[in-house]
């Protein structure tokens, strides 16, 4: 765990990869392109907590089609900067998944392990289709090339990112843009 002062220092020294305006413009484009695909599907939108909060709020305020909304909380990170081997389910969706188009909204596609396990879980629960929507698709060479995001607002290099829902030691999810930790 780091202190608030350490979080402030990390933000001050970080490299801004995408400004607030650039991120908002990217979310505009993402909302428009995904609305074309989803508007007639009666989707069940599942926010992947906690990183999804900013993107999900942005998409919901831009999408004007009928949908159901729920969330799940599954993590490998548990406040750390590296994911562990096990996916920890803290909350499962309460809305039935069977026969639905399920839209997974998350902050980042990094190694892809979490998103892939959640996708498989939804298919095992009977989802007709699973569509993944992320804010950032990170160029991680360790990721299995078969694990992809169906829709991504932004691309980013393989560095440790935070802001717009992504955290650094459970801080800085509210940073006004997408930032990379200096030296990482």
Give residue limits of the domains in the chain.
Answer: 21-154
**pLDDT of 131-177, one tens digit each?**
999 999 999 999 999 999 999 999 999 999 999 999 999 999 999 99
Tell me the average pLDDT across 112-133.
96
* Residue 77 in this model has a pLDDT that exceeds 90: no
pTM of the entire predicted model:
0.93
Distance (Å) of CA 74 to CA 36, 51, 105, 146, 149? 28, 11, 13, 21, 17
- What kind of fold does domain 21-154 have according to CATH? Rossmann fold (3.40.50)
Instruction: Please answer whether residues 168 and 181 qualify as being in contact, where contact means their C-beta atoms are separated by less than 8 angstroms.
Output: yes
What is the per-residue burial (b if ≥16 Cβ within 10 Å, else e) of 155-167?
A: ebeebbbbbbbbb
Beta 129-138 vs 151-156: how paired, if at all? parallel
Distance (Å) of CA 162 to CA 41, 54, 109? 32, 12, 13
């Amino acid at each position: 765990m780091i202190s608030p002062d350490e979080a402030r220092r990390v933000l001050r020294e970080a490299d801004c990869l995408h400004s607030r305006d650039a991120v908002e413009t990217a979310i505009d484009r993402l909302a428009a392109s995904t609305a074309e695909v989803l508007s007639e599907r009666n989707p069940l939108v599942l926010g992947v907590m906690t990183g999804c909060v900013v993107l999900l709020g942005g998409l919901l305020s831009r999408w004007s089609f009928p949908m159901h909304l729920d969330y799940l909380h599954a993590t490998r990170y548990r406040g750390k900067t590296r994911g562990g081997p096990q996916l920890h389910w803290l909350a499962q969706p309460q809305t039935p998944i069977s026969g639905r188009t399920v839209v997974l909204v998350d902050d980042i596609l990094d190694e892809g392990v979490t998103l892939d396990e959640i996708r498989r879980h939804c298919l095992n629960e009977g989802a007709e289709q699973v569509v993944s929507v992320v804010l950032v698709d990170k160029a991680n060479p360790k990721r299995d090339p078969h694990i992809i995001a169906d829709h991504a607002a932004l691309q980013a290099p393989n560095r440790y990112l935070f802001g717009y829902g992504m955290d650094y030691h459970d801080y800085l999810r509210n940073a006004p843009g997408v930032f990379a930790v200096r030296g990482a």
